Amino acid sequence: MKKLPNSLWILLASLVALGAFLFLDLDRKDEPMIWDLKLQTIRYGDLSFEKETSFKGESYYTSLSIDGKSYRYRASTTVPNLFRDLEELKMQGLYVFDDQIKELFPEDPFAASEKTRCLELEPASDAAFKLCALREDKGGKVFAVANRPENAEEAYLIAGYTLDRLDADRASFLEKRVFLYPTASSTVEMEISLQGILDESASFQPFSADLFRREKKQDDRTIMVWKDSSGREVSPQFSNPLDTVIRQYQVEFFDYEYDIDTEAQWEASRPLLTAKMVAGQDGEEVQTMRIEVRNPAQPLTVKDKQVLLMKSPEMEGVQLIDLETVKRTIGYIQGVQAELASQPPGESSPAEPGEDH
């Protein structure tokens, strides 16, 4: 049996190494990308999605135009996901944009048409261009083309759901939550003040409290409890749902959905409550958020739902909040008020995180 020359062994080893590299590279990139961009703006019909980058990170906004009026709001989580998908657009098929595929598109593939969805994509440091995809999908995939020099004369198959979401209700692109807590954080302090109630015929005593979330040793385990500034403990029956309901405050209706001068309503309204929510993570305070809720001078109803007024540095202008949500908040605050009133004043400040009791 003849011995293989050393040069042939080296060639075989090189081919094996190259194959392994290509396999690992394909494994790392499940699907090839059409492009890898840093987008600044995405436009679709009367919607515009913007990404702003600062030293604090990235912020996303949704703008829309209705009857000649422009509106701008914080974007929901749908928008950063859309940016992520379009910045690294995955390709499920690559074709020459020949006559056979051109027949599927309108005569001008980048003109408005019932056959296609067209977006305008604006990179941070390049010229804007259009991405147009057929509405009719084949097995969950659609043909798409882009009028970008780097992608000229090419057509791609992309996942249909990538653009399907653009036809969702406008509200799905708007952030309804008032408070956006940092990831993995929780409330460590609530400063609440009850200045009025909805039933003016009922007895009422103004009330304020600063509540802190602290550790407490109970039997052989550590639990979290709420204490006021003098060290009095508040039962979870009221403190936990109070934290939850305020954290979940949201905009009930956006101002494009109603014709109400909320600023004028705010000036004539009666104070109800204020809250300061401090978010913490790993024993450190990471964000402080505030809100004020007021009762309008006359009942306000939008789409058969009664609403109140709220204002927060977390949002622009005066917004509307569901009446029933505020009713629950007041009920929990009054529960805390009654519970603390039944206890003698504490003699010490609430313990710091990690301190034994």
CA of residue 330 relative to chain centroid, distance? 27
The reported pLDDT for the residue numbered 234 is 96
Reported as a single tens digit per residue, the pLDDT across 33-77 is 999 999 999 999 999 999 999 887 899 999 999 989 999 999 999
State how far the Cα of 351 lies from the Cα of 137, in Å rounded to an integer: 61
Identify which of 86, 77, 33, 36 has the alpha carbon closest to the alpha carbon of residue 58. 77
Q: What is the pTM of this model?
A: 0.82
26 or 280: which leads in pLDDT:
280
Reported as a single tens digit per residue, the pLDDT across 113-168 is 999 999 999 999 899 999 999 999 889 999 999 999 999 999 999 999 999 999 99
State how far the Cα of 305 lies from the Cα of 131, in Å rounded to an integer: 40
Query: Has residue 83 got a pLDDT over 90?
Result: yes
State the average pLDDT over residues 320-324. 98
DSSP-derived 3-state class of residue 302:
strand
Residue 110, token pair as written in the block = 């980048």
State how far the Cα of 9 lies from the Cα of 11, in Å rounded to an integer: 5
